[in-house]
Structure formats: structure tokens, C-alpha cells
Amino acid sequence: MQQDKWILVTGSSTGIGRAAVEALSTGGFKVYASARNPGDLESLSRLKNVVPVQLDVTDETQIASAVAFVRKQNTGLFGLLNNAGIVAAGPLMDLNINDLRTQFEVNLFGLHAVTRGFFPFLLASRGRIVMMSSDSGFFATPFVGAYCASKFALEGYSDSLRRELNGFGVDVVLIQPGRVKTPIWDKGAPFLNRFPGSMFEKTAVALGKHAIQRGKTRGLEASVLGKVIEHAFFVKKPKIRYLVSRNNFRYTLIKLLSDRRVDRMVQAEITALTK
């Protein structure tokens, strides 16, 4: 029964991670909710069926400590939600190599370190690994290239891992949300004027402002993602991918059309925003 099943969630402080913790803990699971900030851990500790765990996914020492903590609790682990992630926005030709390294340290390398660290628990329980991907994992948009690259990499990583684990009883599931109303949009403004004088400045700023406005006003509520995540852990045979957006048909069309056709669609949107 799910009340005997524990799930570790990374990036539990706000947004999708917090919504996932709340949905899982009220849905009958018990949750190890990880975060970096002590204040966020204090807030998480007040939730029923939730045990806070300090964890920075880029810190190998903290990962080892978290693994040791879970082992000491003797609860086992049924699931892992790899949710922690960041966005490095800006024109690719203006980003330096450290920007890309930071993006991948969290969104891919940290995810791998956490997954590898907790894998023995998941193998023992024949449990489940759920990856928080994005529509940016299959539809690359301009001026968030580093983020898109990290999510494309996550998709490939997850497909390979799933196929490697075939026959071992451990499922690997991808969640692909479109825009979601989370505090991440409030953090976007500083990126808009990060590269003054860039040849891409006008277009990047226009698209950035549009994305922030749409995210705040048209994004899905994080609770919607929380319920999808709960389902992905609860259902006996989960889907490999869950696309969660206001317009799944648009994404289906994008996957069917030629790259050139999609390029023209994107360029038409850019032209309309920069007139």
C-alpha cells in the first residue's frame, strides 16, 4: 500500500517540487522533501507525512549524507522525483562556458549523482524514478538554449536509463510540463538586460518579457503538476511520458511538422513580438 512507500523529492522548496510534496503526502505516500535552504526545510517539516532533508544536488557530500540518513531511517525508498532545476537564459552566443556548466551541473550532473546515490534503494524496492523534464526537452526555443540543451540531455539520459533497467522492475518516467505558474518567472527579469549592446538584445528582451508575462498569467497551476506526479507514482503501469500543458495538440503538431516549418512558425512569432 502507498502509505508504506517513501518518495524522495529534490527541489521541494517552491513551485512544482512543493506541489509534488503536498500531493504525495496527502495522497498517502510518505515523503523525504529535500531543499537547500534551512528556512524551506522548516516549512516542509510542518507538513504531515513529510521529513525534510537538506540536499544540494551539486554537493556530493550532501548527497552522501542524505543517502546515509535514509538508510538510517530503515524505511526503504519506493520513488525518486528528480525535480531540482535551474534556468540559465540568454542568447547562446552571449553565454560563456561557465553559464552552460552551471546549467548542466544542476539539471543533469546533479540529477545523475542523486539518482546513482539512491539507486540501490530503488532497485531493492523495484521502485520508480520520475524525471521532471519540460516541453523544452523536445521543443527548443531561442534564448533559453542552455536550458533546452539540458532538458534534451535529460530526455536522452532517461530513455537510456529506462532501457538499461528493463527487466529489473524499476520504471523511469518523464514529466513534460509546459508553462507553469511558479516563482521562477519572478527570477527572470534580471536576465532581460544581462547583455546590453548584444546584437540579440532587442529580440531577446521582447521574447523574455512575453515569456514571463505568459508564465505568470497563462501558466498551469503547480497543483496540476502535483496531481500528475502523484498519479505517476501511484498507478501500477505509468506512461513513459506525461505531457502536461494547456494545448497538447500544438506540441503534437510541432513533433509532426518538418524542422524548417517549425523554424518558420517560431520566426513568425518573433517578428510579431518585435514589430
Domain boundaries of the chain, sorted by first residue: 2-249
Where does 2-249 sit in CATH, by number? 3.40.50.720
* CA end-to-end span of the chain: 57
pTM of the model: 0.94
* Torsion angle (degrees, nearest 10) of CA 36, 40, 42, 44: -100
Closest C-alpha among 61, 59, 69 to residue 33? 69
Percent of the chain with pLDDT over 90: 86
Q: Say which of 147, 157, 242, 251 is annotated catalytic.
A: 147
pLDDT at 246 over 80: yes
How far apart CA 272 and CA 275 sit, in angstroms, is 6
What integer pLDDT is reported at residue 132 of this predicted model? 98
pLDDT at 1 over 90: no
pLDDT at 15 over 80: yes
pLDDT (tens digit per residue) in 143-164: 999 999 999 999 999 999 999 9
Name the grid cell of 106: 544542476
Catalytic-residue membership of 157? no
What integer pLDDT is reported at residue 188 of this predicted model? 65
Closest C-alpha among 84, 58, 88, 78 to residue 154? 84
